[in-house]
Amino acid sequence: NAGVMQNPRHLVRRRGQEARLRCSPMKGHSHVYWYRQLPEEGLKFMVYLQKENIIDESGMPKERFSAEFPKEGPSILRIQQVVRGDSAAYFCASSPLAGGPNTGELFFGEGSRLTVL
């Protein structure tokens, strides 16, 4: 059973360009979370999505960042007009259920490391 797949693993962009990060959740998982890890820091929640719905985007910057999880295909985190401060590791995680006994039991991908020059 394949795990959470993220691509690209490494992405280099110049300031002002766009970055698109993709995440395919584990088979059977319909809940997707994006987290950002800045250097020397823990992970920070960005957004929680289910198929075709954004459930909670309270951790996402209001400008330049967007996320989607279409009916078909992977979840995408899009960063427009990147700045140096966007350089970070972006992790996607999935879970089969939103709450109950599996609350917080997330399955993480290996991350996409964005470097902005």
Partner 1 sequence: AQSVTQLGSHVSVSEGALVLLRCNYSSSVPPYLFWYVQYPNQGLQLLLKYTSAATLVKGINGFEAEFKKSETSFHLTKPSAHMSDAAEYFCAVSEGNQGGKLIFGQGTELSVKP
CA distances from 56 to 45, 59, 75 (A): 10, 8, 15
Both tokens assigned to 44: 């920070």
Out of 42, 71, 84, 85, the residue judged to bind partner 1 by CB under 8 A: 42
Give the residue with the Cβ less far from partner 1, 79 or 90.
90
To 10 degrees, the CA torsion angle through 92, 18, 53, 97?
0
CB 24 to partner 1: min, Å: 13
Count of residues touching partner 1 (by CB under 8 A) = 26
Both tokens assigned to 56: 């909670």
Out of 69, 109, 114, 116, the residue judged to bind partner 1 by CB under 8 A: 109
Out of 21, 93, 114, 116, the residue judged to bind partner 1 by CB under 8 A: 93
Give the residue with the Cβ less far from partner 1, 28 or 101.
101
Calpha distance 31→4 (Å, rounded): 12
45 binds partner 1 (CB under 8 A): yes
Q: Helices marked H in 1-117 — which ranges? A: none
**Rounded to the nearest 5 degrees, what angle is found at the Cα of 91, between the Cα atoms of 86 and 93?**
150
Task: Summarize as ranges the residues that interact with partner 1 (CB under 8 A).
Answer: 4, 31, 33, 35, 41-45, 48, 56, 91, 93, 95, 97-99, 101, 103-106, 108-111
